[in-house]
C-alpha cells in the first residue's frame, strides 16, 4: 500500500508539472498574440486571424491546462499534507492570482476580437510580464519553502 501511494505521488507531481508548463506557455504566448492583434485594424482580416489564434490557444491549451493543473495540484497537496505549511498558503495565493490573470487575459482577448482596444499596446506589453514574475515567486516558495 505504501509503495502504491509513493508511486501515485510521483505520477501526480509529474502530471502537475507537465500541465503547469503547458499553462504557463499559453500565458506567455497570449499577451504576445494580443499585442499583434492590437496592431491590426478592427474588423480586418488580420484581426480575425489573431482572434482565431487566441481563441484556439484558450480552448486547446489554456483552459484544459489550468483545469488539470488545479486538479492535480490539489490532489498532490492532499497527498503530501501541504495544507499545514505556510509556503503552500503563499503558493496557493499566487496561483489564485495567476488564475485571475488567466481569466482577465482571456476576457480581454474576447473584447479585442470584437474590435475593442481597452488597453494601450505599451501597457499590454507590461501586463504580459505578470506570469513570469508570479512563476518565479511560486517556484521559490515550492523549492525554498521559506516559511
- What is the 8-class DSSP label of residue 44? S
Domain region containing 103: 2-144
Which residue positions in the chain have pLDDT lower than 70? 1-2, 5
pLDDT digits (tens, 9 = 90+) for 98-138: 999 999 999 999 999 999 999 999 999 999 999 999 999 99
What pTM value is reported for the model? Answer: 0.93
The C-alpha atoms of residue 142 and residue 45 are separated, in whole angstroms, by 44
Q: How many domains, the chain?
A: 1
Alpha carbon distance 120, 35 (integer Å): 9
Provide the pLDDT for residue 47.
97
Amino acid at each position: 500500500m505504501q509503495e502504491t501511494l509513493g508511486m501515485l505521488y510521483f505520477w501526480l507531481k509529474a502530471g502537475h508539472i507537465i500541465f503547469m508548463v503547458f499553462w504557463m506557455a499559453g500565458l506567455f504566448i497570449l499577451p504576445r498574440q494580443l499585442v499583434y492583434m492590437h496592431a491590426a485594424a478592427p474588423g480586418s482580416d488580420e484581426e480575425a486571424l489573431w482572434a482565431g489564434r487566441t481563441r484556439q490557444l484558450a480552448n486547446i491549451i489554456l483552459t484544459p491546462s489550468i483545469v488539470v493543473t488545479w486538479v492535480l495540484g490539489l490532489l498532490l497537496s492532499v497527498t503530501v499534507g501541504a495544507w499545514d505549511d505556510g509556503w503552500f498558503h503563499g503558493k496557493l495565493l499566487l496561483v489564485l492570482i495567476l488564475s485571475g490573470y488567466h481569466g482577465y487575459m482571456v476576457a480581454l482577448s474576447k473584447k479585442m476580437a470584437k474590435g475593442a482596444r481597452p488597453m494601450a499596446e505599451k501597457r499590454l506589453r507590461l501586463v504580459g510580464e505578470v506570469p513570469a514574475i508570479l512563476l518565479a515567486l511560486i517556484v521559490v516558495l515550492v523549492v525554498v519553502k521559506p516559511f
